[in-house]
Chains A and B, each alone.
Chain A
Amino acid sequence: MAKVLIVAEHDGAVLNPSTAKCVACATAIAGTEIDVAVLAASAAAVASDAAKLDSVARILTVENAANEYALSAILAPQVVALADGYDYIFGPSTTFGKDLMPRVAALLGLNQISDIMSVEGSHTFKRPIYAGNAIVTVTAPTGKPVVATVRTASWQAVDATNSAPVESADIAVDIPSHTRLVSVESGQSDRPDLQTASTVVSGGRALASSENFDIIFALADKLGAAVGASRAAVDAGYVPNEMQVGQTGKIIAPDLYFAIGISGAIQHLTGIKDAGTIVAINKDEEAPIFEVADIGLVADLFKALPELTNAL
């Protein structure tokens, strides 16, 4: 039985859905026993979320005031202390996991595999490179643990019908003080979360101002959708960075995606490759977005969008 350790992502109160996707990836490896580690200041709430995830054998909690906020320099040595005896150590390919897992791997003297999109064998995986323009099959050495991040958009979260036991893990590590959190600024909204929403409406440079983005929000509200944006829209300051979709933003897989006034640069498309249905509204019929759109409408968005919102 191969043992998998998954590092849970959470905000101190709630488990991030990315963790259930890591579990899904781990179940794709034949014959695994899956543990989830919750490192937190107080772990109870997150641990009880994690304990519900199907296929999980047990939850290991590490409580430490220093774990109040996820800082990789602080978490990595603790994950290393827990890693003994595990054959796989996984985290999500969110900014949390991308920051943490390479640090864990290097402390263990190992390489790391980024963005697992499929499992081809016990040590063989597929991952995207060149902004998703190529898929490479990689093989990690056997006889050593595999440290990896899981490309969340490639995996369906496991169900939450389990009640795995929760144990507190006793580890002694030196926690460095050279890295300190100052603050987190987030455009907290009561809209659906961009990374998990089933419908996403994204706006691009064509919106031309942050006021004009209101028509994107209006359509999203009608549809119960999350709102995203192209890099050009974020760079121009129309919307905050956490809304960026693409190679250097969020990689998402909603059932329905609207690209409004977005040209369809490869760096944007890599973020929506796994979307179910892509709808594009663009006034330029030559825009590359129409090459990937399932439904395209060549129109001025400032006319078409209010019309669409009204029609729903």
Chain B
Amino acid sequence: MEKILVGLKRAIDYNVRVRVKNDGSGVETDGVKMSINPFDEIALEEALRIKDRGDASEVIVMSIGTDAAQQQLRTGLAMGADRAILVDAVDSIDPLSRARVFQEIVNREGVELVILGKQAIDDDNSQIGQMLAAIWGRPQATFASKIELNGNTARVTREVDAGLELVDVDLPAVISVDLRLNEPRYVKLPDIMKAKKKPLDQIPIADLGIESSSIIEDSHFEPPAARQKGIIVDDVAGLVSALTEKGLL
């Protein structure tokens, strides 16, 4: 196949303990480490492996967001992507509009396979892959833990509540990936230097004919209800009596 498109979302690093701002207007992002959403890194790794095997000729990474997302795209280029596209939009752009942006880029580029993370660890929505597949009228294979390409179809192992599901999807298709698919490569210093020369195109969202509106409104943020601190028992006998006291045995 010619082109694989991978989405890279800029998100708060998964090691950061996220805190809600005191005024409830959002979460604290000042001075907080930002990274590629971990699922998206796995998506990119998979695309690169497909290309390395000779099953694709180009891997394009794209992000939808502000200039700051250039940083994540550069990391993607350093990992091995051939070029990057940044669609300029407000970070709060809604999922359906994001899916429409992907659809526009898919059309412009003639992409045959889109690989995305199964969810972003900021909004935890898990929607874009499914929405893109819907408006594109193509198959979706979400939560993938294994991908095998056989000509014009992909055999995808999906991690579902019941266990593992195997589906065949005809290409073009959208695949969203789970954590166990692969282990992303580390970026080496020379690759970072090389990545600086790779093309990174910026496209204003208005040029795609999509209005970047927030259709579902996030009105208020609050921390989760805290659990009360419990007790420490000395031994197994203490544990059994504590459970018995609570009427749990």
Residues of chain B contacted by A295 (CB below 8 angstroms): 230-231, 233, 239, 242-243
Chain B residue, CB-CB nearest to A71: B167
Give the distance in Å from the alpha carbon of A138 to the alpha carbon of B231 in the complex. 36
How far is it, in angstroms, between the C-alpha of A308 and the C-alpha of B168 when the chains are bound?
46
Interface presence of A113 (CB below 8 A): yes
- Contact residues of B between 135 and 189, Cβ < 8 Å to A: 135, 137-143, 145, 155, 158-170, 173, 178-180
- 3 closest A-B pairs by CB: A186-B163, A102-B130, A106-B134
Among A178, A231, A299, contact of B235 (Cβ-Cβ < 8 Å): A299
- Cα A115 to Cα B240 with chains together (Å): 35
Interface majority SS (helix, strand, loop, mixed), chain A: mixed
Interface check A141, CB cutoff 8 A: yes
List residues of chain B with CB within 8 A of the CB of A137. 218-222
- In the bound assembly, the distance between CA atoms of A253 and B249 in angstroms comes to 18
Interface hub of A178, A183, A278 (most chain B Cβ within 10 A): A178
Nearest A residue to B162 by beta-carbon distance? A186
B residues with CB within 8 A of A: 12, 14, 17-20, 27, 94-96, 99, 118-119, 121-128, 130-135, 137-143, 145, 155, 158-170, 173, 178-180, 215-224, 227-233, 235-240, 242-243, 246, 248-249
* A134 and B169 form a contact (CB under 8 A): no
A128–B224 touching, CB < 8 Å: yes
How distant is B210 from chain A, measured CB to nearest CB, in Å?
13
Is A73 part of the binding interface, using a Cβ–Cβ cutoff of 8 Å? yes
Bound Cα distance from A242 to B164, whole angstroms: 8
* CB of B179, distance to nearest CB on chain A (Å): 6
CA distance A227 to B233 in the complex (A): 23
8 Å CB contact of B124 from A178, A231, A247: A247
**Identity of the chain B residue whose Cβ is nearest the Cβ of A267 in the assembled complex:** B14
- Name which residue of chain B comes closest to A295, CB basis: B242
Q: Does A248 reach chain B (CB closer than 8 Å)?
A: yes
Q: Is the CB of B216 within 8 A of A248?
A: no
Q: Which has the most chain A C-beta neighbours within 10 Å: B164, B216, B218, B246?
A: B216
Set of chain A residues within 8 Å of B124, measured between Cβ atoms: 114-115, 128-131, 247
Using a CB–CB distance below 8 Å, which chain A residues touch chain B? Answer: 11, 71-73, 76, 94-96, 98-107, 109-115, 124, 128-141, 176, 178-187, 195, 231, 234-235, 240-242, 247-248, 250, 255-256, 266-267, 273, 277-279, 281, 285, 290-299, 304, 307-308, 311-312
Provided the pairs A111-B95, A111-B216, A241-B159 are in contact, do residues A130 and B27 lie with their beta carbons within 8 angstroms?
yes
- Which residue from A95, A135, A140, A290 sits with its C-beta under 8 Å from B224? A135
Contacts of A267 in B (CB 8 A): 14
Among candidates A96, A109, A176, A248, residue contacting B161 with C-beta atoms closer than 8 Å: A96
Contact B179 A231 (CB under 8 A): yes
Residue from A135, A136, A231, A298 having most chain B Cβ neighbours under 10 A: A136
A154 to chain B, nearest CB (A): 12
Min CB–CB distance A288 → chain B (angstroms) = 10
Complex: A184 Cα to B135 Cα, angstroms: 27
Beyond the given pairs A111-B216, A137-B222, A242-B159, 14 more chain A to chain B contacts, judged by CB atoms under 8 angstroms and listed by A's residue number, are A96-B160, A106-B96, A130-B27, A135-B223, A136-B222, A141-B215, A178-B170, A181-B166, A184-B163, A240-B163, A277-B248, A291-B229, A295-B243, A312-B240
Q: Which of B139, B159, B168, B249 contacts A95 (CB 8 A)?
A: B159
Q: A111-B216, A184-B163 are in contact. Are A102 and B230 (CB under 8 A)?
A: no
Between A134, A182, A235, A255, the greatest number of chain B beta carbons within 10 A of the residue's beta carbon is seen for: A134
Q: CA–CA, A291 to B228, complex, Å?
A: 9
Contacts A73-B140, A279-B243, A295-B243 given; does A94 touch B161 at CB 8 Å = yes
The residue that B232 contacts in the complex, of A182, A248, A297, A304, with Cβ under 8 A, is A297
Report yes or no: B167 in contact with A106, Cβ–Cβ below 8 A. no
Once A107-B134, A178-B138 are accepted as A-B contacts, the answer to whether A292 and B164 lie under 8 Å apart by CB is no
Given contacts A133-B223, A296-B231, A312-B249, contact A98 B142 (CB under 8 A): yes
**Residues of the A chain whose Cβ atoms lie less than 8 Å from the Cβ of B96:** 105-106, 109-112
B224 and A133 contacting across the interface, CB-CB below 8 Å: yes
CB–CB B219/A139 < 8 A: yes
